[in-house]
Amino acid sequence: MSKFQDIIQGEKPVLIDFSAEWCQPCRMMPPILKQVKQQLGDRIRILKVDVDKNPAIARKYMIQNVPTLMVFKKGEVKFRQAGVIPAQQIIGIVQQFL
């Protein structure tokens, strides 16, 4: 978990996709996140966290539904929403924190 903490402490916004292999809607997120990365490039870091493989992180952030997207900057939660979100909406949200 300390590596996760190091990652979310940075100046650069970090978009976390909390997901699980068994989750059908979670399978819709990779192409959406690819679009986000293509548009925002190195201005953002995108991380996928499997809640089943990282239960301590999932517990700490009280992840109850997957997918859940969170944006961190300097260790603070700037945005959080459960469910599949379109790429353009995610880009608009992240741009507020660049």
* Given 8, 14, 15, 26, the catalytic residue: 26
Q: Is 23 a catalytic residue?
A: yes
* Given 7, 12, 20, 23, the catalytic residue: 23
The CB density around residue 62, as the number of other CB atoms within 10 Å, is 8
Rounded CA-CA distance 26/42 in Å is 23
Q: Is 28 a catalytic residue?
A: no
Q: Is the dihedral of CA 53, 54, 56, 61 positive or negative?
A: negative
Q: Could you tell me how many helices (H) and strands (E) the chain has, helices first? A: 4, 4
Determine the 3-state secondary structure of 26 from DSSP. helix
List the catalytic residues. 23, 26
